[in-house]
A = this chain, B = another copy of it.
Amino acid sequence: MAVTLRDVARAADVSVATASRALAGSSLINHVTQRHVVQVAAALGYRTNTFARALKTKSSRLVGLTVHNLDNASFQVLASVVQARVQAAGYQVILSISGDDAAQEKEILRTLVDHGVDGLIAVPTGANGAQLLAMEHAEIPVICAVRRVEGASLESVLAGDLDGAYNGTRHLLGLGHRRIGLIVGPGETTSGKERLAGYRRALQEAGLPIDPALVQTGRYLPATGVAAANALLSLPEPPTALFVANHESSVGVLRVIAERGISVPQDLSLLFYEDSPWFEWQRPAISVVDSGAAEMANLAVDRLMQRLGGVANSGREYRVGSRLIERASCLNLSNP
C-alpha cells in the first residue's frame, strides 16, 4: 500500500490535520513545522491520493477538452497547446473527440462531469448548449473555442473570420485581381457564414459585383476542393485568384491545380485559410490568412484559468484577430 497522510503525520510527529495543512501550504501554520512535514513527506515519497481529495473537495484537477477530430491542423494545435499549458498549471486533460456529432458530444459531456472535471474547453457542436450551461450552473467553467453555441451565454474564444476573409479578399483586390473565386464552408457554420460575409464586404466596398458563380460552398472535406476548383476553373471567364477559405478542401484544390498543369502564381493566384506547415513548404509557398489557432488555444486556457481561480462567467466573446501571411502564391497584376 502507498504511503498516506497518516504515515507522514506519524513520522513527522504531528496530527493528520497539520500534515494536511503543511502540504497544502495553508497560511495558518508554523513555518518550521511546515518545512519539517514537507521534508518528511518527500523522504517517504508521499503522493496525495487524488481520489480522497476529490471526494472531499469535489475538485479533480482534471480539465476536459473536446474537439471534433485531430485531422484538422487547428484542432491539433488546440490539443497540443491546451495539453501543455494545462499540465503546466498542475492539471491534466481528458481528451474527447466528438466527431462533430451532437449525440456523442452529449455522452462525452456526461462522462466528463462524472469524472469531475474542474473545467472544460470545448469546440462545441452547437447542439448541446443546455448541457453546457448546466455545467456552468454546477460551477464547472466552460470555455468554447473556435466555435460558439448560439444563444448560450458561454465564454467563447473565436477567430476573427469576418475580418480575416475581408482582409484576405482585400489583399487580392489590392494586387489587382477582379475575379476572385471563393471556396468556403457551409452557410450553417459560423465560420462559413462569416468568411463569406467578409468576402462580400470587401468586394462591395471595392464597388465590384458579386458573381454567384465565383462562390463555391461545401463541406469541410478535400473532395469539396476538387469539385469547387474544377467548377471555378471551368468557368467561361475563370477567376485569376482562388481564395480557399475552407481549410480541409485546400489539398483537393492543390491536386486539381497539379492535374491541370496550372502554374501558380503566373496562371492563378492562391490564398489559403488557416496555416499548416504544409503550406509553407509547398513550392511556391502559399500565402494564407492565419486564423491564429495557437493564440485561440492560449486565450482559451487563460480564460479557463481565470474562471478556475474564481472569476465569474463574463458570458463574453473573445476574438483573436487573423493575420495575413504573404508568401509566394499571389501575383501582383498591377505591376507584373
Contacts and interface: CB of A to CB of B under 8 A. Distances in A.
Given A83-B96, A283-B259, A115 B277 contact: no
Nearest to A52: B55
B83 A222 contact: no
A92 B94 contact: yes
Contacts of A255: 281-283
Nearest to A258: B283
A259 to B, nearest CB: 5
Interface in A233-255: 251-252, 254-255
A294 interface: no
A80 interface: yes
Given A114-B47, A115-B50, A278-B251, A71 B76 contact: yes
B222 A281 contact: yes
Contacts of A87: 96, 108, 111
A51 B47 contact: no
A252 B65 CA distance: 32
Interface in A51-77: 51-52, 54-55, 60, 62, 65, 69-71, 76
A196 to B, nearest CB: 25
B97 A84 contact: yes
Nearest to A253: B281
A48 to B, nearest CB: 7
Contacts of A52: 51, 55
A116 interface: yes
Contacts of A222: 277, 281
A277 B251 contact: yes
A50 B116 contact: yes
Contacts of A83: 95-97
B71 A70 contact: no
| Secondary structure call for the A interface | helix
A93 to B, nearest CB: 6
Highest count of chain B CB atoms <10 Å: which of A95, A112, A252, A254:
A95
Contacts of A80: 69-71, 97
A79 interface: yes
A30 interface: no
A49 interface: yes
Given A97-B83, A255-B283, A258-B283, A60 B51 contact: yes
Nearest to A61: B115
Given A51-B60, A116-B50, A95 B97 contact: no
Nearest to A48: B114
Interface of A: 47-52, 54-55, 60, 62, 65, 69-71, 76, 79-80, 83-84, 87, 92-97, 108, 110-116, 222, 251-252, 254-255, 258-259, 277-278, 281-284
26 contacts: A50-B114, A50-B115, A50-B116, A51-B51, A51-B60, A51-B116, A52-B55, A55-B55, A70-B76, A71-B76, A71-B80, A76-B76, A79-B79, A83-B95, A83-B96, A84-B97, A87-B111, A92-B94, A93-B95, A222-B281, A251-B277, A251-B281, A254-B281, A254-B282, A255-B283, A278-B278
In the A-B complex, the 5 residue pairs with the smallest Cβ-Cβ separation, listed nearest first, are: A258-B283, A95-B95, A51-B55, A51-B54, A251-B281
